[in-house]
Amino acid sequence: MRSMISFRGLFFLGCVTALASAAHADEARWRDCRTCHVVEAPDGRELARGGRSGPNLYGVANRALAGDPAFRFYSSDLRAAGQTGARWTEDNFVAYLAGPSQFLRGITGHPAAESAMHVELRSGGRELFRWLQTLD
Ligand code: HEC
């Protein structure tokens, strides 16, 4: 019986460690974003710390493009993309991160569209999107 308990204990520890390292990986990815982005709830709680030279990413999942009403520095091309009615689905988010200007060119149809975000993330976008959804 005693050995059963310690086996369970070990199993539990293993799960906790796996969860902790998954959360750790997400935090590591957030480091690529937090220079410019914060995740701040409407009541002012900072769910993930960061800077403010980019829009607040709170509730970005399924939000309209250029949809942070408090952010005044959207590029005209991201605003134009927002006017098409497009939203930040997981696929749009991943495509935007892989090539922000190319993504805006595709959505707006303007071959010269330029994003004001000069950062590209080729992997881990999906995990970041899902992690952002868990912040509440
Ligand atoms: C050097 C600053 C900087 C970094 C680092 C950065 N961004 Fe941005 N981000 C911006 C700016 C500026 C905009 C607005 C772009 C525009 O208006 O064209 C933006 C826009 C966005 C948007 C569109 C939001 C909206 O309201 O429509 C998303 C999504 C986004 N960034 C995600 C990320 C993620 C995820 C990371 C980390 C992998 C990241 N960004 C890293 C500066 C940055």
Position 27 scores a pLDDT of 77
Tell me the CATH architecture of domain 32-134: Orthogonal Bundle (1.10)
* pLDDT at 26 exceeding the cut of 90: no
At 14 the pLDDT is 59
Query: In angstroms, what is the span from residue 51 Cα to ligand 1's centroid?
Result: 11
Q: Would you say the CB of residue 74 lies under 6 angstroms from ligand 1?
A: yes
pLDDT exceeds cutoff 90 at 2: no
| Residue 25 pLDDT level (bands cut at 50, 70, 90) | confident
pLDDT, residue 17, reads 59
pLDDT top residue among 58 and 18: 58
Write down the pLDDT at residue 58. 97
Give me the residues paired with residue 48 across strands: 39
- Phi then psi for 45, rounded to 5 degrees? -70, 130
What pLDDT is recorded for position 67? 98
| Strands (E) located in the chain | 39-40, 46-48
Task: Identify whether the C-beta of residue 55 lies closer than 8 Å to the C-beta of residue 38.
Answer: no
Dump pLDDT digits (tens) for 62-114.
999 999 999 999 999 999 999 999 999 999 999 999 999 999 999 999 999 99
Q: What is the DSSP letter of 41?
A: -
Query: Does residue 66 line the site of ligand 1, with CB under 6 A?
Result: yes
**Mean per-residue pLDDT of the chain:** 89
Domain boundaries, the chain: 1-30, 32-134
Report CA(20)–ligand 1 centroid distance (Å). Answer: 26
Alpha helices in the chain (DSSP H): 2-30, 76-82, 90-98, 100-108, 125-134
Query: Which pLDDT does position 15 carry in this prediction?
Result: 56
User: 13: pLDDT confidence band, cut at 50, 70 and 90?
Assistant: low
87: which strand partners? 64
Distance 18 CA to ligand 1 centre (A): 29
